[in-house]
Amino acid sequence: MKAWYLPAEKATDKTILLANGYKSVRDHYGAFGWLFHDLGYNVLMPDYRAGAQSPGKYIGFGWLDRLDNKAWIEKIVTKNPHSLIAMFGISMGAAATMMVSGENLPNNVKCFIEDCGYDTVWNELTHKAKSDYHLPPFPLIYLLSFWSKLFAGYDWKEASAVNQLRKNKKPFLFIHGDQDTFVPPEMVYRNYEATQGPKEIYIAKGGRHVRSYEIDKEKYRAVVECFLNKYF
């Protein structure tokens, strides 16, 4: 798999692992990488499997990516055993961030931040089928979930950020725009309730999907910086 690495200007053991959203690559969302670079951290921004320059046949919608991100974490620690790691994800990458939080991770991982991630793949794709095409879950979502299990190895109910967050005890910051129609805002509250560690939530007024940073960069930066200063 391929990734873009941006070292901090001043040497540090602290690295942000940044997970992009569906069909997004670093040249589209590089602003988030620069945000963390400006805050003084190393930034590792992988291309998710079957996306951009990374190989793969099936997009994992966060579920397969959780294992890839775990492998990236292990690679960071192998390169520098003293590494401290925070993970940040956007949209599908936010779901991947929540999903990996429930895995057995090294103590080097200190906290997580997600921006506009969905609670389960099933709920998100059911929502999109209804909002975009006025289709009920049956039979389309059931059939596609079955095909996903058959060909990609996972079904869409299994791919649950909520279930993974119930196993997480590390600090988590949840970010969501209150005008998000792609991933409904009610999903962030389900995710927030599920996690078992210290948690904070920032609801961006007027924010659409992946636009919370764009509409108020100073506020977004301040919220993220305060959280990282506390737990990272």
pLDDT tens readout for residues 190-209:
999 999 999 999 999 999 99
- The domain defined by 3-120+159-231 carries CATH number 3.20.20.70: no
pLDDT tens readout for residues 16-29:
999 988 876 666 67
- Residues of the chain above pLDDT 90, percent: 85
pLDDT tens readout for residues 65-79:
999 999 999 999 999
The pLDDT value recorded for residue 165 is 98
CB contact set of 185 (below 8 Å; sequence gap of 6+): 176, 177, 178, 203
pLDDT tens readout for residues 43-94:
999 988 766 677 678 888 899 999 999 999 999 999 999 999 999 999 999 9
Reduce the DSSP state of residue 102 to 3 states and report it. coil
| Domain range list for the chain | 3-120+159-231
The pLDDT value recorded for residue 53 is 72
Whole-number Å distance between alpha carbons of 70 and 118? 20
The pLDDT value recorded for residue 88 is 98
